[in-house]
Amino acid sequence: MSRIGKKPVVIANGVKINHSDNKLEVTGPKGSLSLEVTGDISVAVENNEVTFTRKDNVAKNRALHGLYRALLQNMVTGVTDGFTKKLDLVGIGYRAELKGNTLVMMLGFSHPIVFNAPDGIKIELPTATSVVISGVDKQLVGQVAAKIRSFRLPEPYKGKGIKYDNEVIRRKAGKTASK
């Protein structure tokens, strides 16, 4: 049995889960998400808990068992609390500004980098060198943060680039002049 898959997902207050056929719809104060369950995984919603069971011990079903439980738990957390990722722009002249739902970044190139936020993602700028990405969908928040980070990855010599707030950049020693 999957250790994660056999744990029930507790439905928080204010969250409604609709289960029809093989589709789960989670609605909460921050929004709504849906999940389609495939394979031989069955879903039971009862007593403010959702449990997943699998019919057989095939490798594919064993993998999906824990996956669907984790996805549903992330959906419940997302519609109640939401998810955030913080990015720091490190470097001389590196800055960002927000124009509507568009993030415009100066990252040392000859041109500004323009990024349009997808639906369901909210971008905030507490300072000109920090970006906060928030939303309901954990996967989408992480994907948008990774996309923004990919415009200028942090480099190991000076530490310049876009890095996650809690990321530690391992620094390398540069060339040393011979004596």
Where does a domain end: 28, 59, 80? 80
Say yes or no: 159 and 92 in one domain: yes
Is residue 130 domain-resident? yes
In terms of pTM, does the model score above 0.95? no
Region class of 6: left (phi > 0), else alpha (psi between -120 and 50), else beta: alpha
Using the structure block, give the residue that is written with the tokens 């789960």: 24
| Total domain count, the chain | 2
What's residue 59's pLDDT? 87
CATH number at residue 72: 3.90.930.12
User: Which of these three, 31, 49, 80, is where a domain ends?
Assistant: 80
CA distance 2 to 176: 53
Please identify, among 24, 52, 80, the residue that sits at the C-terminal boundary of a domain. 80
Instruction: Give dist(CA 85, CA 139) in Å, integer.
Output: 11
Local structure of 63: helix, strand or coil = helix
- Would you say residue 4 lies in a domain? no
Q: Which residues contact 151 (CB under 8 A, 6 or more apart)?
A: 105, 107, 113, 115, 162
**Over the stretch 124-173, which tens digit does the pLDDT of each residue have?**
999 999 999 999 999 999 999 999 999 999 999 998 999 999 999 999 98
Residue 81, pLDDT above cutoff 90:
yes
Q: Are residue 89 and residue 147 in the same domain, yes or no?
A: yes
